[in-house]
Amino acid sequence: MPDLLPPFDAHRVFVAPWTTDLPTYGWMTLMAFLVTTACGLVGNYLILRRMALVGDAISHSVLPGLAVAFLISGKLTLPAMLAGALGAGLITTFLIEFLHTRSRIKADAAIGITFCSLFALGVVLINVFASKVHLDAECVLYGELSHLALAEHSLGMPVPVLVMGGVALIVVVLIVLFYKELLITSFDALLAGSQGFAPGKMHLALMASLSIVIVAAFESVGAILVIAMLILPGATAQLLSTRLPICLVLSVLHAAVSAIGGLHLSLILGCSMAAAVVVAGTLLFGVAWAISWMRQRARTIVSDIHAVVS
């Protein structure tokens, strides 16, 4: 269906974003990269701790946190947003825990109940107080990187990019500082506990940073695409490497490639850039999956040959 795609023009798709349109697309790509980096780094630990769906839950429940923060503070200020997101993240963590320890509800159902209810609450709040809450429902679902063009500038860059850059930097610094603690609590919580590394507190701290990363990414990519940003880079990296530090570096690389790939893909398809970044990331995951599968095959064949020879 040709009318589904905008007419293809190599100059518009591949050259213009890096030359004439650089001021617009440059920031959008940088933003996409920063979002995916911050999410992907935290996401690595989520995957390792088998908490991918808790990330799903928090990404949904940040919405009512934001709505309440808007209602109380009246406008979009950074501290209000962070406080709302932190509150929502911790409440979600607590509610999930509470539901499945205090009743016969299993953990998976507890996650589902908590985030669906909170998300519904958020949507209702936004709709009821539509005039006071400057979040629109579409933004929640797709996120709009293109809003960046309208954002105020500070220190020579759009404010959201500045904020996201700060968050990504904090994530990197925290991971470098607490590498050892994160590793031991994720791998072997019992040993960590016996050596005094408070796995419970580390869990809460991880949830808190997760909420902050999600809220910073929220406006750009929305509640659901952020899950992809959390899981895709780590999942791709873990297919390719068996060392955690390399995985972390690979997920940053994945973020960069999918941000640039997403830019071009969105121009080719003419669709939302946030979604295109995720699609590009998915393609990368597919490639990594194929590579790891072929490696596995090769290894089996080699060991078969060994078996035959010996």
Partner 1 sequence: MNPPALELHDLTVSYAKKPVLYGVDVQVPQGALVGIIGPNGAGKSTMIRAIMGLTPLSGGWVRIFGESFEKNRQRVGYVPQREQVDWDFPVNVMDVVLMGRYGRRGWLRRVTKEDKKIAEESLDKVGMLPFRNRQIANLSGGQQQRVFLARALAQQSDLYLMDEPFAGVDATTERAIMTLLQDLQSQGKTILVVHHDLTTAKEYFDHLLLLNMRLIAFGKTQDAFTVEQLQKTYGGRLTILSDVAAKAAKGEAMP
Partner 2 sequence: MRFPKTVVLPVIWLLLTNAAHAARIGDLTETSITEQALRFFTFSDPSLRLALLGCILLGLNCGLLGGFVVVRRMSLVGDTLSHAVLPGVALGFLWNHTKDPLAILIGATLVGCLSMLTVSAITRTTRLKEDAAMGLVLSSFYAIGICLIGMIQRLPSGNKSGIDKFLFGQAAAMNGHDITLMAVTSGLTLLFVTFGYRGLLTLSFHRAFGESLGLPMGFLHHAMMLLISFAVVTAMQAVGVVLVSAMLIIPPATACLLTDRLHRVLILSAIIGIATAVFGAFFSFLGSNLPTGPFMVLAGSLVFTMTFLFSPKQGWLTRLWRQQTQKCRIERENTLKAMYHLAERYGFREEGITLLELANTRREPLEQIRQRSDDLIRQKLATLTEDGSMLHFTPEGWRKASAIVRNHRLWELYLTNIMQYGADHVHDDAEKIEHVLGEDTVRQLERRLDFPQTDPHGKAIPGARDIHAAIAKPNLGKPTGY
- The residues binding partner 2 (CB under 8 A) are 1, 3-6, 47, 50-53, 55-56, 60, 99, 102-106, 108-109, 111-113, 116-117, 119-121, 123-124, 127-128, 130, 137-138, 141-142, 223-225, 227-228, 230-232, 234-235, 238-239, 269-272, 274-276, 278-279, 281-282, 285, 289, 292-293, 296
Is 197 or 209 the residue whose CB approaches partner 2 more closely? 209
Is 103 or 154 the residue whose CB approaches partner 1 more closely? 103
Is 202 or 278 the residue whose CB approaches partner 2 more closely? 278
State the minimum distance, in angstroms, from the CB of residue 225 to partner 2. 6
Is 34 or 227 the residue whose CB approaches partner 2 more closely? 227
- Please tell me whether residue 283 binds partner 1 under the rule CB under 8 A: no
Q: For the range 156-164, what are the long-range contacts, defined as Cβ-Cβ under 8 Å and sequence gap of 24 or more?
A: 157/27, 158/27, 158/31, 160/31, 160/219, 160/220, 161/27, 161/30, 161/31, 161/34, 163/78, 163/216, 164/31, 164/34, 164/35, 164/38, 164/216, 164/217, 164/220
Q: Determine the residue type at 222.
A: G
Of 212, 211, 209, residue with least CA distance to 174: 209
Would you say 65 and 57 are in contact if contact means Cβ atoms under 8 Å apart? no
Tokens of 146: 């293109």
Would you say 291 and 241 are in contact if contact means Cβ atoms under 8 Å apart? no
Is 81 or 125 the residue whose CB approaches partner 2 more closely? 125
Q: CB under 5 to 8 A by kind: which of partner 2, partner 1, none does 141 bind?
A: partner 2
Q: Determine the residue type at 242.
A: T
Ramachandran class of 74: left when φ > 0, alpha when ψ lies in -120 to 50, beta otherwise? left
State the minimum distance, in angstroms, from the CB of residue 140 to partner 2. 9
Q: CB under 5 to 8 A by kind: which of partner 2, partner 1, none does 127 bind?
A: partner 2
Is 177 or 294 the residue whose CB approaches partner 1 more closely? 177
Q: Which of 2, 23, 156, 196 binds partner 1 (CB under 8 A)?
A: 196
Q: Tell me the pairing of strands 157-158 and 153-154.
A: antiparallel
Q: Which of 6, 26, 87, 193 binds partner 1 (CB under 8 A)?
A: 193
State the minimum distance, in angstroms, from the CB of residue 107 to partner 1. 15
- Please tell me whether residue 4 binds partner 1 under the rule CB under 8 A: no
Q: Cα separation of 310 and 303, whole Å?
A: 10
Q: CB under 5 to 8 A by kind: which of partner 2, partner 1, none does 128 bind?
A: partner 2
Site string for partner 1, 65-104 (x = CB under 8 A): -------------------------------------x--
- Please tell me whether residue 208 binds partner 1 under the rule CB under 8 A: no
Instruction: Kindly list the residues in this chain that would bind partner 1 in the complex (CB under 8 A).
Output: 48, 50, 102, 177-178, 180-181, 183-184, 186-188, 190-197, 238, 241-244, 246-247
